[in-house]
Amino acid sequence: MGRWTLCFLVLAAAIPRPAFAQPSNEDVAAENGVKTQEIVSFCLDYADGWLQQADPATGLLPRNLKGDRFWNAKDCAADNFPYLLLVANMTGQVHLEQAALAILESERRLTPRIDSLPDTYDFAKGGFLEESEKVQDIIFGASEYAKDGLMPISEWLGPGPWVDRMREMVRDIWKHGNVDTGRGRLPSQNVEVLGNLMQVMSRLYWMTHDVVYKDWAYLIADYYLIDKEILGMERIALRDHGCEVLGGLSEVYVIAASEDPAKRDTYRGPLHRVVDVILEKGRNDDGMMPNGFDVRTGEQSWEQTNDSWGYVYDAIYTIGLVDQHASYREAAEKAVTNVYRYLGANWERGSADGYADSIESALNLLNRMPCARTFAWVEQSAPFILDRQRPDGIQEGWHGDGNSARTMMMYAMYLTQGITVAPWRKGMGVGSVSDGQGGLVISLTADWAWDGVLRCDRPRHKDYFHMPVDYPRINQFPEWYSVEEKTVYVLTLPNGEEVQLLGADLWRYPLHLEAGSTVTFRLRPAELEPKTAPADSCAGDWRALRNRAKDGGALKEWQETVRKALLKVLRIDDLMESHASSPPPARVTGKSEENGFSRREILLECSPGQEVPVIVTVPTGAQGQRYPAVVCIPGHATEGAKLFDIETIYKGYARALAGRGFVTLTMSVGWHDQREKGRTLMGERLFDLVRGVDYLESLAEVDSGRMGCAGLSLGGEMSMWLGAVDTRMGATVSAGFLTYMNQLEKNHCMCWKVDGLRELVDFPDIYSLIAPRRLLCQIGEKEPADQFNPVLARRAFAEVTRAYDAAGVRGRAELAIHGGAHEIDLQSLTFFLTGALGSKDTAK
């Protein structure tokens, strides 16, 4: 048993997991099928949307939709065309595949300018954009087209016209090389071109075993590792358009290690020195990387977090794999297990392409070192891509839209473990999960009657490329579960019948599904030796008590279990057992009369010897009447009086509620000094609020059956907690907070993070404890991606509504996305609380 396996098993055993909280493999496969329905719909709409934008005369795609009405190799061909073809093939949409292949044929016929090498083709001219050829620009475009466009197609589809096109371009790139190194002529001195070519030629060599590709690859590797050592450069680029050299060198190194020990020995020292310097100077404490760094000074370029981090770690992992160098694997593992802290990060200035590259970075490495919390990060990051698509299928209107489709289909292949169906149309869910013993559980859902084929993946690195090992590399589609051509497998049909099939039969297995059906299959090798599930690289599992209740009874059981567990984690379980026996002592320190209400400054002794200042308002003329009451909670470093100021981000909501006939209690909880040893800061804050509710309940003016809470930012977080654990809260308003815990790992106060919390739940689960009582969450449309943004809020809220669905009261939970930023939306808050709790017009 490996070190990672042992660590995982010990930690997993320490986490309590009630039986009802653990979904079956069938449940997980079906849930994955729901996710792939959204992904496939996104990708099919992308393909349809972009094909409608094709030039009517040639069928070629424009570079973007905002003025560049021309086709070019480095963008259109490299980043958009290939994923039209791959979406078409992965979904088995014949009409899309024919359209994509027509683009390839048209490009091959119209765009070559120097032998087979393409140049930019202008639609208006019906010819080349530039009057004269620029050889190096053409070589650059062809190298990008080969590496980013044709290589990923060949990774999924194997030999075909795309490989023929790649081979002819590579041949002519070298034909026109004019950079003399003393060993031979290189096509360019551009670091990206040479990196591209090493990757392309390495894979062409494995595919064809034509030694010319190996010789060309060695020529470039010699140039960088012998003649012009990389560490002699002033700056090492780590982002795409610069990191390709390291990726290329790692692939050439695999060839040398497999076939030329002397060459490997020559390369090992220089290559290790480069990696060691990158690991020393080119990452932060989480393993994330800047765009580049100065080799001499170590100064890092952190204009943004490098979305291509995985491209570099692919190479580092591969070099470590070749040399059995554990520290290189561990470096990649560190990044994989820490990227969850960068949910909503400013990848490539917030573009969908940046998110796509970062998710791709993770998935390629997760295939080798699975990590549950990073898979969750992938799921939470995907909406930053999916939610940007317009009704016409266009996302951002430039060639990078293709990269988004690439990554979403790559994510779908994880959710299906490489299983696809043809045709895979909208309304079909395909999901799979490993059974942990060498087999799969497969779920298929069809809205309409369906006839087609189930397609299992194959070991493409062996069948198509004849590689000695499936090393991580750019522009591949990871193999999750592949079936060998001549191995016998057992497919268990939904009716329990077992069918024995060869792997080749499972590459296209005919099926029929009835309309509205959800069916489950099981797949395993006929001669199955028990296997242990791959070790999780994370330090233990998270979210063991995730809400999966499907009916009111299960929800109530789950809520009772989770509340007890959370109070224990917060270390206030003992306090909560006895708090309601009497209200906290109160000392009035000031009074004033305002328009429609009286205001009292009070010190509440929420715990022995600890007085907490609060502001209480009571409607004017309240004698003999009972009113609804709201606990109003400010954010960090904010006094309660700010909630009465209309000029602040709180919009004076406490004043507005007081004027509408609510009793209010405003309590600040933004302090950071833990009072009592053995407690937690969050627990003490929460218990203060609970004691505030005890005080409200004791007031003659308060109708204890109509109490609620509201807050913004930290106040929104504490409203969530108060509504979750104190069932006296009939209505909760949580503003500027709804998100996932991953998003709070960077650029936020870490006071939310309590030991043991993440192992149990995420924020949507805590909000789910409020059901079936009323809930309003507010988020500003202008919140930045790394704050409490609407993308994550919508997805988190979708999880919360499942609890309300289980309780049969979906309409009691509301999400208000308003046009502001990190602030209260006063109109929806007052409207919600008035409807949920009543106002002065409903005083009793």
| Dist CA 841 CA 844 (whole Å) | 9
Strands (E), 123-173: 127-128
Tell the burial category of 690 from Cβ atoms under 10 Å away from its Cβ (0-12, 13-18, 19+): buried
Which is it for strands 627-633 and 702-712: parallel, antiparallel or unpaired?
parallel
Residue 787: per-residue pLDDT: 92
DSSP state of 342: G
- To which residue do tokens 């270390």 refer? 571
Residue 59: per-residue pLDDT: 97
| Dist CA 178 CA 327 (whole Å) | 40
Q: Which two tokens stand for residue 179?
A: 């950079």
Residue 7: per-residue pLDDT: 32
Do residues 652 and 645 lie in contact, with contact meaning Cβ atoms separated by under 8 Å?
Answer: yes
| Dist CA 520 CA 796 (whole Å) | 28
Q: How many CB atoms lie within 10 A of CB 831?
A: 13
Tell the burial category of 63 from Cβ atoms under 10 Å away from its Cβ (0-12, 13-18, 19+): buried
The DSSP-derived string for 738-797 is: -S-GGGGGSSS-GGG--TTHHHH--HHHHHHTTTTSEEEEEEETT--TTSS-HHHHHHHH
* Cβ-Cβ contacts under 8 Å for 789 (sequence gap 6 or more): 344, 739, 743, 779, 783
Residue 233: per-residue pLDDT: 83
Do residues 202 and 254 lie in contact, with contact meaning Cβ atoms separated by under 8 Å?
Answer: yes
Which is it for strands 185-186 and 121-122: parallel, antiparallel or unpaired?
unpaired
| Dist CA 201 CA 77 (whole Å) | 19
Residue 672: per-residue pLDDT: 87
Let me know the angle formed at the C-alpha of 535 by 533 and 536, rounded to the nearest 5 degrees: 115
pLDDT in tens, 621-659: 867 899 999 999 999 989 999 999 999 999 999 999 999
- DSSP lists the bridge partners of residue 593 as 598
- Within the chain, which residues score under 50 in pLDDT? 1-19
Residue 15: per-residue pLDDT: 39
Do residues 689 and 668 lie in contact, with contact meaning Cβ atoms separated by under 8 Å?
Answer: no
pLDDT in tens, 476-499: 999 999 999 999 999 999 999 999
DSSP state of 121: E
423: left (phi over 0), alpha (psi -120 to 50) or beta: beta
| Dist CA 278 CA 300 (whole Å) | 11
Residue 350: per-residue pLDDT: 87
Q: Which two tokens stand for residue 20?
A: 């009802």
Residue 20: per-residue pLDDT: 53
Do residues 138 and 119 lie in contact, with contact meaning Cβ atoms separated by under 8 Å?
Answer: yes
| Dist CA 409 CA 477 (whole Å) | 9
Cα 117–chain centre separation? 37
Residue 609: per-residue pLDDT: 86
Measured CA distances, 281 to 238, 275, 276, 336 (Å): 11, 10, 9, 18
| Dist CA 785 CA 560 (whole Å) | 34
* Cβ-Cβ contacts under 8 Å for 438 (sequence gap 6 or more): 524, 525, 528, 529, 530, 531
> Sign of torsion, CA 32 35 37 40?
negative
- DSSP lists the bridge partners of residue 82 as none
Do residues 523 and 491 lie in contact, with contact meaning Cβ atoms separated by under 8 Å?
Answer: yes
| Dist CA 188 CA 136 (whole Å) | 7
Q: Is the pTM of this model over 0.75?
A: yes
DSSP state of 641: G
> Sign of torsion, CA 302 306 311 314?
positive
DSSP state of 808: T
Residue 530: per-residue pLDDT: 59
